[in-house]
Amino acid sequence: MSLSAGWYLGLAALLFSIGAIGLLVRRNVLIMFMCIELMLNAANLTFVTFARVLNDIGGQALVFFVLVVAAAEVVVGLGIVVTNFRRRSTTVADDLHSLKG
């Protein structure tokens, strides 16, 4: 028994919505990064679903590029968070203005 593409796209829309709401509501930078990762994974699910429906490998190849972007985002973002945490002992997004220089 196989699920139709609509179920996967609905799940991707739900995951993306949860990530977007979490990004807008929460102020902790680590939680915001997790919400961005959730949104990127929802996009990956959409790419894989369309790749399966269209019998094309392009969507699955695009997932690898999205994963590379997500890994780079985590490395740079966590570097900024660690720098801010060492200065102010907090990971609230409102305190990132202190990194202006």
Is pLDDT of 46 > 70? yes
Q: Quick one: average pLDDT of 80-100? A: 75
Domain total of the chain: 1
Report the chain's mean pLDDT, rounded to a whole number: 89
Q: What is the mean pLDDT of residues 63-73?
A: 92
Instruction: Assign residue 68 the CATH number of its domain.
Output: 1.10.287.3510
Q: Which residues contact 91 (CB under 8 A, 6 or more apart)?
A: 28, 29, 30, 81, 84, 85
pLDDT over 80 (residue 43):
yes
Does the pLDDT at position 100 exceed 90? no
Q: Is the pLDDT of residue 12 over 90?
A: yes
Range of the domain at 22: 5-99
